[in-house]
Chains A and B, each alone.
Chain A
Amino acid sequence: MAATATPTPKTNRIGLPVVEYRGSKTTLCAGCGHNAISERIIDAMYEMGVQPEHVMKLSGIGCSSKSPAYFMSRSHSFNSVHGRMPSVATGAILANKTMLPIGVSGDGDSASIGIGQFVHLMRRNLPMIYIIEDNGVYGLTKGQFSATADIGSKLKTGVVNDLPAIDTCSLAIQLGATFVGRSFSGDKKQLLTMLKAAIAHKGTVMLDVISPCVTFNDHEGSTRSYKYMQDHEEPVGEVGFVPSFEEIDVEYDPGTTYDVTMHDGSSLRLRKLHEDYDPTDRALAVKTLMEAHDKGEILTGVFYIDTQKPAFTDLLNMVDEPLATLPQERTRPSKQVLEEIMSRLK
């Protein structure tokens, strides 16, 4: 072999280089938080060694919902209609529950036009990762407020929002999602860790990721700007994650850390920053979120986790294989069955 051969690129545990997790070139604005989130999704899938063909990407409509084109081109993707990604995802998961579904939505897509489907997806605990790329405005229609905008937040035009924000995390916790957290597109480490843990979870993972809109909502007076986030982000705890295929090498101190064993044997470690925070206590999680909001803090981290509750697909008691590709011998009952039914109708 020639000495000038190009070095073999670094690969993950299934032998794929990171380039196999990339997507098309982004068409979003330079500096858009959504691009950083796409990068973290690529990193998380690569580091977890997920087979790209086993991922389904789903989205609604909006800047956020365009972003599945910008990561993981080797995965099937469905950019559906505004606010209705949850139903499309539900159908796709019923057809093939062996896939890893990741849905990308926005604050308009989930909290306004799609709130009906959003709440029912949470209620069903559908096994998927559901990301809201949350910037508080409608970008593609040039900067109107969304329903997650805070009271008092100001548009570029000077218009002030006078309605309360919908807290998608509180909603998700109350309705039945089993892994709920908030992160910030600018917090590489926390977001990556949460995404890796999300991949290991079986049930609805709802991540609200604050993702500043550099064009329409990054100015003075906005509560979704990079500057505002830097000043007001308040982690509820430090998130650590050890995947099932790595050895745990740090001692666990029950006084300062919550350790959660996930469905695939991975370990999620939440180091307490807020005293007495318990991420398995739903009422406490919602109370903590409301209190932080009143103080003007934007709380981040994993707020709530439940690894026991059955996912929607478990409740349906389906066969192990994907329904989509079951052979006719299993899905069409025999001639005798039809004859039996006919004779009863005589």
Chain B
Amino acid sequence: MATTNAGAASAQGESEPAASPKPIVNDFSIQIATVNGSGSQSANSVLLRSIFVMGVPVSGKNLFPSNIAGLPTWYTIRASKHGYVARKKDIDILIAMNAETSREDILSLRPGAVAIYEESANLKQYRDDVTCYPVPFDKITAAVCPEAKLRKLVKNMIYVGVAAQLFSMDMKAVEDSLRKQFAKKQKAADLNWAAVEAGFNYAAQAFTKNDPFVLEPMHATEGKIIIDGNAAIALGAMFAGVTVVTWYPITPSSSVVEQLIDFLKKYRIEKDGKANFAVVQAEDELAAIGMVLGAGWAGARSMTATSGPGISLMAEFAGLGYFAELPGVIFDIQRVGPSTGLPTRTAQADLLSIAFLSHGDTKHVMLFPANVKECFEFAGAAFDLAEQLQTPIFVLSDLDLGMNNWMADPFDYPEKPLNRGKVLSADDLTKLGGFQRYQDKDGDAIPYRTLPGTDHPQASYFTRGSGHNEKALYSERPEDYQNLMERLARKFETARTMVPAALVVQTGKSKIGVVAFGTSDFAVTESRDQLKKEFGVEADYLRLRAYPFSREVRDFVASHDRVYVVEQNRDAQMLSLLKLDLPAAETPKLRSVRHFNGLPIDARSVTDEIVLQEGI
């Protein structure tokens, strides 16, 4: 399987690449094709980190199979002096380590690209328009690694050395990165470093550089951190004071809770050795969400993390959470579809199912973090919103953001105190002379609640689904149900004013607008530059950060003639939600740019589609 969108190039017979091409500095992509379970992850991390340490903006993406070991996997690294971190549509440098896919891998390259591969595979026979660097990996590995069973792992470090030589990487940066990677294993570090040097030296004596790609030190990564989105969510939750965490393992969300457990064990054990949190691996997602809502009802800050199939199973409880007004936070790390097949590929395709998750009239609040910093910040905001609004809050990340490493500025400490929402104490009840659980006292449609254990004879109330009046008494009276439903709708309007607002970049002159959310932001940011540079088109941009949509959205659409909604699903789900929200007169302006092949969206695809629809 090729992981580029480009059709297999049929460039056989074209002339050799020019002997001394103009250098392309700090602006290319590397794809390493390996077999999963072969230990290439460490080598790829070292490559990524070395470029980072050189001060060059870099991003890495793991395209892996749903499998323990033995199936093809690709790791893509993009170095970009412009700071672009979206997937690059074309691969510039291929490191083909998987014999099974190597033919297809090299055929998918564009002319002028580079291929590094095992000498015996003789990939040159397939492409004479690609710069080829054949390497006798096994021979070099055997020389540096006497222990046969370690060779499979060490072999990967050879390509790090080869790449370091060919693309002018700073060997000190490589060594620092490698020693950080094997920080606790001195012996492994030494062995792997020997392999890097062997690859480096081999390339120095065997090859004359015949391609344009080089790295040069920059200062664009100083002070930055590298983190994956799932770790950022885990940190956000810990600093938001989460106390009850429930989960059922599912790719790509498992590492949210796994990393959170590590953080909690390190930073949330009290002096007496006791935990101020509880983590439960539930029997399934139905139980995970039930525990979240039970804990939220009893006053804890509770969360679970899941992916699409888990969301489906949570449907009934999500509705109960909405009707009974129970706080809880659900992180959905979106992936492609159900069952086996592509659960390890990315998508933004759970929007519609979450917006109305459950039966009856339900509407849920969704937050859309677009980068690791927002993963951290929105995780925190979600707990405040859940308790303030007394409703489940869904945070939609995706596999691309969640499981890949991203550069970011260090996260800011949340200085704002936790907002625990409208909770009445025993003293409050004495002063008020009691309370009505579902009464809108403040005009914001958010009622007051009490927690079990509040020592006051009037503290208790009875929680149930839809059939209750303002006093939380059982009722099937039509007016009670209608009142409840109307108040819940008003509460959703209150939510509109509280969720993270959309971000707008607007010149005030352009007739074209782009709307995107989540990880599509990376591609759209780059695509807007392409549109401007290549076609002279300046497109304004609005990035959605939550549903219900903040007021900016309506104004943005109103002030443009054509608005392109960019998203990573087949059915234009965000566009559908916008249609429901916007005045009918505005909806014909909406146009759709969709990307749904399981790979992260890239800028070129966005640009091509907008150019096509604009008829440029």
| Interface hits, B249-272 → A, CB 8 Å | 263, 267-268, 270, 272
Contact stretch, chosen from A140-148, A237-245, A294-302, A328-336: A328-336
Indicate if the CB atoms of B243 and A81 lie closer than 8 Å: no
Complex Cα–Cα for A52 and B411 (A): 45
Q: Is A282 an interface residue (CB 8 A)?
A: no
A-B contact count (CB 8 A): 222
Indicate if the CB atoms of B287 and A87 lie closer than 8 Å: yes
Other-chain contact of B320, A81, A91, A95 (Cβ < 8 Å): A81
Using Cβ atoms and an 8 Å threshold, which residues of chain A touch B282? 87, 120
Name which residue of chain B comes closest to A89, CB basis.
B294
Q: Is A84 an interface residue (CB 8 A)?
A: yes
Q: Which of B226, B290, B302, B320 gathers the greatest number of chain A CB atoms within 10 Å? A: B290
Complex Cα–Cα for A331 and B463 (A): 27
Using Cβ atoms and an 8 Å threshold, which residues of chain B touch A74? 457, 460
Complex Cα–Cα for A322 and B413 (A): 26
Complex Cα–Cα for A335 and B267 (A): 12
Indicate if the CB atoms of A342 and B411 lie closer than 8 Å: yes
Complex Cα–Cα for A324 and B387 (A): 12
Other-chain contact of A319, B270, B301, B454, B461 (Cβ < 8 Å): B270
Indicate if the CB atoms of B291 and A91 lie closer than 8 Å: yes
Other-chain contact of A79, B239, B286, B455, B463 (Cβ < 8 Å): B463
Using Cβ atoms and an 8 Å threshold, which residues of chain B touch A331? 241-243, 268, 276-277, 301, 418
User: How far is the CB of A336 from the nearest CB of chain B, in Å?
Assistant: 9
Other-chain contact of A95, B224, B286, B302, B474 (Cβ < 8 Å): B302
Cβ contacts A156-194/B at 8 Å (1 or 0 each): 000000000000000000000000000000000000000
Using Cβ atoms and an 8 Å threshold, which residues of chain B touch A89? 294
Indicate if the CB atoms of B474 and A325 lie closer than 8 Å: no
| Interface hits, B473-498 → A, CB 8 Å | 473-474
Using Cβ atoms and an 8 Å threshold, which residues of chain A touch B457? 20, 52-53, 74
Other-chain contact of B460, A77, A84, A326 (Cβ < 8 Å): A77
Indicate if the CB atoms of B454 and A328 lie closer than 8 Å: no
Indicate if the CB atoms of B243 and A88 lie closer than 8 Å: no
Using Cβ atoms and an 8 Å threshold, which residues of chain A touch B320? 80-81
Other-chain contact of B297, A73, A91, A116, A330 (Cβ < 8 Å): A91
Using Cβ atoms and an 8 Å threshold, which residues of chain B touch A333? 238-239, 267-268
Q: Is B60 an interface residue (CB 8 A)?
A: no
Chain A interface size band reads: 35 or more
Q: Is B36 an interface residue (CB 8 A)?
A: no
Indicate if the CB atoms of B453 and A323 lie closer than 8 Å: no
User: How far is the CB of B448 from the nearest CB of chain A, in Å?
Assistant: 14
Using Cβ atoms and an 8 Å threshold, which residues of chain A touch B241? 326, 328, 331-332
Complex Cα–Cα for A103 and B293 (A): 16
User: How far is the CB of B12 from the nearest CB of chain A, in Å?
Assistant: 46
Indicate if the CB atoms of B474 and A91 lie closer than 8 Å: no
User: 10 closest A-B pairs (Cβ-Cβ)?
Assistant: A87-B290, A91-B294, A324-B299, A331-B241, A95-B300, A91-B295, A95-B298, A88-B294, A91-B291, A345-B225
What residues make up the interface of B, taking CB atoms closer than 8 Å to A?
Answer: 223-227, 235, 238-244, 246, 263, 267-268, 270, 272-280, 282-284, 286-302, 316-317, 320, 410-411, 413-414, 417-418, 450-457, 459-465, 473-474
What residues make up the interface of A, taking CB atoms closer than 8 Å to B?
Answer: 20, 24, 51-54, 56, 58, 68-69, 73-81, 84, 86-96, 98-99, 116-117, 120, 316-320, 322-326, 328, 330-333, 335, 337-339, 341-342, 345-346
